[in-house]
C-alpha cells in the first residue's frame, strides 16, 4: 500500500455513483508510445557533432558505432528476450569471417553484399544454435553459450588455411559503397557507413520492440511461465529473438572486417562477449538507448583512462563500472527512468 491507496481501491458497484473514476480507457497514450521523442534526436546529433569536432578520431568513432550495433544485438537477446549469454561474440565473429572470406577468397568486395551475406550466415548460425541454447535455463544456458563461443574460437584457430588462424585474415579488398564511395585513408567513408548502418539497424530494432512481437518479448522476460497460459509458444519467440540478435551481431562483425580490411581471431574471443555484456549492463539493458549510451560511455572511459594511466586503466575502469552498477542498478538509462515515468504520468493524468 502506498500513499495513493484511496484511488487504488476498486470503486465497487455501490460506490461507482459516488466516485467519478474514469469508466472508459483512454487509448491515446499507448497510441503515442512508439512516436519519436526529442531527446532521441539529440542522441542522433552526437555522431554528426563528432564528425566536425573530432575529425582526428574517426577510426575510434567508427569502432564505437560498430560496438553500438553489437550492443544493440545483445540488447535484443538479453535486454528484451531475457536470454543471458556470454558467447555473443560467436555471431560477431561469424559475421566478421563471413564478410572477410567473401572478399578475400571469393573476391566479392561489394560492402553491402558483404553485409547481407554476413547477416545471412550469422542468422543461420543463430538458427542452428537456438535449440541447444534455449533447451536449458539459467546457468545451464549460460554454460552452453560460453561453450559455443569457445568451440567457434578453436575452430577458427585450427582452420588456418581458411582464417589465417592467429595471424588473422588478410587480403580483404573493398570496392566502393554502391559503386560511389570508396574507403579512404582518413576513415571518413568508413565512419559514415558505420553510422548509417547503425541508424538503419536502430530504427528497425525500434520498430520491432514497439510491435506486438516486441511486447511479447518484454512480457516473456518478466514472466515466462505465464506466456503459455496466453497461448504463446515461448520457445518460438525466444528462438526468433535469438536469430534476430545473431543477425545484428553478424552485421556488426562484418562492418569491423570491412572498415579495417582485416579479421583478427579476437572477433571470436571470450573477452568480446564479456565486454559487450558489461557495456549493455552499464548503459541499461532492455532499453535500446542503453546499448548506445553504454557503448559511448565505455569506449570513452576506456580511451580517457588508458590515456591517463596506460598501465592500470583496466583497474580504474573496473572501479568506475562497479560504482555505476551499484548506484544505478539498471544502468545509466535506468537512472533516468523514474524521471521519465514522472513526466509520462503528468501527461496521462492531467
List interacting residues with other proteins (CB under 8 A): 1-2, 5, 7-13, 16, 21-27, 29-34, 207-208, 210-216, 218-219, 222-223, 225-234, 237, 348-349
- For residue 223, the minimal CB distance to other proteins (Å) is 6
Distant-in-sequence, close-in-space partners of 5: CB < 8 Å, separation ≥ 6 = none
* Of 180 and 230, CB closest to other proteins: 230
* Of 132 and 211, CB closest to other proteins: 211
Q: What are phi and psi of 328, to 5 degrees?
A: -125, 90
* Of 34 and 151, CB closest to other proteins: 34
- For residue 80, the minimal CB distance to other proteins (Å) is 12
* Of 148 and 217, CB closest to other proteins: 217
* Of 37 and 207, CB closest to other proteins: 207
- For residue 35, the minimal CB distance to other proteins (Å) is 9
d(CA 109, CA 99): 9
* Of 8 and 307, CB closest to other proteins: 8
- For residue 286, the minimal CB distance to other proteins (Å) is 9
Residue with cell 497461448: 231
- For residue 29, the minimal CB distance to other proteins (Å) is 5
What does each C-alpha distance from 321 to 139, 225, 262, 294, 312 come to in angstroms? 23, 33, 31, 11, 15
Return the bridge partners of 263, or none.
169
- For residue 209, the minimal CB distance to other proteins (Å) is 9
Count CA within 13 A, CB hemisphere, residue 173.
6
What does each C-alpha distance from 4 to 7, 8, 13, 16, 20 come to in angstroms? 6, 7, 21, 18, 16
250 with 123: CB under 8 angstroms? yes
C-alpha closest to that of 80 among 236, 238, 230, 193? 238
Q: How would DSSP label each residue in 198-238?
A: HHHHHHHHHHHHHSHHHHHHHHHHH-GGGGGGGT--HHHHH
- For residue 232, the minimal CB distance to other proteins (Å) is 5
* Of 232 and 325, CB closest to other proteins: 232
Amino acid at each position: 500500500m502506498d500513499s495513493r491507496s484511496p484511488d487504488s481501491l476498486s470503486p465497487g458497484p455501490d460506490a461507482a455513483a459516488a466516485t467519478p473514476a474514469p469508466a472508459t480507457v483512454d487509448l491515446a497514450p499507448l497510441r503515442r508510445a512508439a512516436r519519436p521523442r526529442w531527446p532521441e534526436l539529440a542522441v542522433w546529433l552526437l555522431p554528426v557533432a563528432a564528425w566536425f569536432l573530432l575529425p582526428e578520431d574517426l577510426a575510434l568513432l567508427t569502432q564505437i558505432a560498430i560496438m553500438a550495433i553489437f550492443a544493440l544485438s545483445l540488447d535484443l537477446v538479453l535486454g528484451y528476450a531475457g536470454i543471458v549469454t556470454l558467447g555473443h561474440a560467436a555471431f560477431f565473429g561469424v559475421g566478421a569471417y563471413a564478410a572477410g572470406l567473401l572478399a578475400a577468397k571469393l573476391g566479392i568486395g561489394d560492402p553491402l553484399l558483404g553485409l547481407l551475406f554476413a547477416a545471412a550466415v550469422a542468422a543461420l548460425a543463430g538458427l542452428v544454435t537456438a535449440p541447444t541454447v534455449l533447451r536449458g535455463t539459467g546457468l545451464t544456458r549460460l554454460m552452453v553459450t560460453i561453450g559455443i563461443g569457445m568451440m567457434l574460437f578453436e575452430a577458427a584457430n585450427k582452420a588456418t588455411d581458411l582464417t589465417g588462424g592467429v595471424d588473422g585474415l588478410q587480403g580483404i579488398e573493398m570496392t566502393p559503397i554502391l559503386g560511389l564511395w570508396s574507403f579512404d585513408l582518413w576513415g571518413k567513408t568508413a565512419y559514415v557507413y558505420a553510422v548509417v548502418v547503425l541508424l538503419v539497424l536502430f530504427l528497425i530494432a525500434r520498430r520491432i520492440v514497439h510491435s506486438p512481437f516486441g511486447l511479447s518479448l518484454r512480457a516473456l522476460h518478466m514472466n515466462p511461465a505465464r506466456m503459455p497460459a496466453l497461448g504463446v509458444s515461448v520457445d518460438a519467440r525466444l528462438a526468433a529473438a535469438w536469430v534476430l540478435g545473431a543477425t545484428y551481431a553478424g552485421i556488426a562483425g562484418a562492418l569491423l572486417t570491412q572498415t579495417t580490411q582485416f579479421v583478427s581471431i579476437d572477433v571470436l574471443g571470450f573477452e568480446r562477449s564479456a565486454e559487450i555484456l558489461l557495456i549493455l549492463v552499464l548503459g541499461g539493458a532492455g532499453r535500446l538507448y542503453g546499448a548506445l549510451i553504454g557503448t559511448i560511455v565505455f569506449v570513452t572511459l576506456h580511451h580517457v583512462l588508458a590515456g591517463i594511466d596506460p598501465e592500470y586503466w583496466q583497474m580504474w575502469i573496473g572501479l568506475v563500472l562497479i560504482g555505476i552498477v551499484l548506484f544505478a542498478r539498471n544502468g545509466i538509462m535506468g537512472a533516468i527512468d523514474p524521471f521519465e515515468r514522472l513526466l509520462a504520468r503528468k501527461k496521462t493524468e492531467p
